[in-house]
Structure formats: C-alpha cells, structure tokens
Amino acid sequence: MGDNDTPPESGKVWTFLMSWTGRISALIGLGASLAGGFAWVVQHHRAQAERQAALALARAESAQSQYAAALATYDGILKDDPLNPAALEGEVNTAMLWVEDFTAPDSASAASSLDPIFSTLSAGLAHATGSRAADIQSHLGWAHWLNDRIAEREFGSAAEQNFRAALATDPRNVYANAMLGNWALQNGGSVPDAVQHFNIAIASGRARPFVRQLQFAGLLNRDAPGARAALIEAANTMRADGEPLDPVMQHRLLVFCCDTILNRHAQLVESLSAVPPNDAWATWLWLDNPASDHDDARIQSLRRAFIQANLAEIAGQPQQALAAYRLLRRQLAQQPGSLLDAVNASIGRLTHA
C-alpha cells in the first residue's frame, strides 16, 4: 500500500461525515424556511385582524352618521388592500347613506363634503352592474341635485340625466323612482307622473322610510291638484299597514290636506275623497292625534264634527250633512271665526243646491 493510499476505514468515515453534514445543512435550511413561513403566517394573521378591526370601525362610523370618518377609514384599508371587496362595497354604501342624510350649514361646507361623495360614487359606478349600478347612479344624481341646490356650484340637467339613466338600467329601481319623483315636484313637474314614480318605489319594498321622506317632502311643497289626494292615500296606506309616521309629519299632513281654516272647500273635498269615507275618517283621526294637536279638546271636537259633516256631504248624504252643519253653527254661535265662516258657507252651498 502506497503512502497516498487512504485506508478503507478512513474513506468510510469521511463519507459518513460528509453525509451527515449535508443532512444537517438541509435541516438547518428547512428550519429557516419553516421559521420564515411561520413568521409570514403570524404577520398575515395580524394584518387580517387589523383589517377586520378597521372594517368594523368604518361600519360603526357609518352607522353613527360619521360619514367622512368612515370614508377615510375605508380609504386606509384600500391603500393596503386595493381589491378588498368588503371595503369597496362599504365605501360606496357609506357615500350613498351620506347623500340620503346630507346636511351642510353653508354652500362652502356642502361643496367640500360633496367632493369625496362624487369621487367614491363615480368609482363605484364604474365597476357596478344591474340594480347595484342603478342604486349608485341614482345617488350620484342626487349628489348633483345637492350640488345645485345647497352647494350652489352646478346648473343643468345632470341630476335628471342620472335618474333617467338609472331607470334605463332598472325601471323599478327604488332610488331612481323616488328621487326622480321628488326632483320633478320640486321643479314644477307633473304631479301624476311623480305620484306614479313614488308608487313604484313603494311597491319595491326597499328603503321605505327614505321613500316616504322624499314623497312627503315633495308633495307638501306642491300646492297643486292631486298633491293632497296623493298624501292622504299614502297616509291611509301607512295607517292600515301599521307603518310609523312621525307626529310632526302627521300634523303637517293634516294642516296641508284637511285644515278647516286654511283649506278651500275644493281642497278639502280632494283630500277627503282620496279614499273611501270610512278610511278617510280613520286616517283623519290618525293624523289628528293629541301629540300633534295644539288646540283644546272642545276645538278639536268641533273640527272633527265639521270633517264628519263634509264626509256625509261627499258621500251623497246632503240632509245628514246639512243637519250636522246647522248643529255646528249653533255650537259656534258665540265663537265667531274661520270655522264658523266655513260652516255657514257649507250651509249656503247645500241650501242652494
């Protein structure tokens, strides 16, 4: 055996050592990979938890009408996760709620608030389809209307164009119909056309309180034939269905539709003829509730007797109505005023007839 020859035993030892060195290196590499993977999992879990917390915060801010803060929170989520579906949807929903609940102390404040609304709704509309697109486009139209009426920095037909585009996408869309109906009433449009839009919106079953808000606000601002009848029909439906109505609004409807002093006879007839007599009387009592009545019990009783006499006259019972009017005249003999004048006019009308 030569000097350079390696003993067989030494070769085996060397091979064994190299083999274990490789295995140890592999184990070290595997450990490093596992440690890195574990760190990624921990970091990912932490990021997810933070994102969920931010989403919860944004939803709470929106529910508390802190719309600007909610949009900012959603924007922070989307900077880290631009395609987060919950944030994208929540951001647009918040902008739509802000439009529905919009207030501003002056035109400058309105303008600064409307800017993020416009950008959010426009971005959301670009990726929406079907009824969702119609919802967003309707609110974009309402933002244009606010930009005109409150911010005072826009003129033209952008609002109406958006409402009609939304209707082209979804003809029965609740927001497009309700907003277009209100917009039409505020701009001198047809009362029957507006009423039809509100009827479609109500039939959808969606966003009922908001639809009623637009319906009453629009009709109460139009002293035109058909407006009072539409209001009484709506109030009668709400009463029959157990739909709540704020006492202040109940009083406003009563005064606008059936006030025995302010309303002309033709206006009173329109209101009381809008629904069947029994429904008209029940709805009158519902609207003339004590919480909205600022008169004493005697005046309220006399006013109700006058309404009952009118209902008898409208129902084609002139003798019953005339007897009721004459009784009222005796009761009001020592209390001259507008109600007595209305009673005397009714007696004269029936006597001449």
Read off the pLDDT of each residue in 328-350 and give the average, rounded to a whole number: 91
Tell me the C-alpha distance between 348 and 342, whole Å.
10
Q: Choose the weakest-confidence range: 21-25, 48-52, 223-227.
A: 21-25
* Short-list 177, 295, 291, 282, CA closest to 237: 282
Is the predicted pLDDT of residue 56 greater than 60, yes or no? yes
Q: Choose the weakest-confidence range: 23-27, 59-63, 144-148, 231-235.
A: 23-27
Taking each helix axis as running N to C, give the angle between helix 338-352 and helix 297-314, from 0 to 180 degrees, rounded to the nearest 10: 20
Tell me the C-alpha distance between 192 and 8, whole Å.
108
Q: Choose the weakest-confidence range: 2-6, 19-23, 188-192, 204-208.
A: 2-6
DSSP code at position 184: H
Sorted by where each begins, the domain ranges of the chain are 64-163
Over residues 78-118, the pLDDT tens digits come to 998 999 999 999 999 999 999 999 999 999 999 999 999 99
CB within 8 Å of 50: residues ≥ 6 apart: none
CB within 8 Å of 58: residues ≥ 6 apart: 70, 73, 74, 77, 87, 90, 91, 94
Over residues 306-325, the pLDDT tens digits come to 999 999 999 999 999 999 99
Tell me the C-alpha distance between 312 and 308, whole Å.
6
Over residues 288-305, the pLDDT tens digits come to 976 444 557 888 889 999
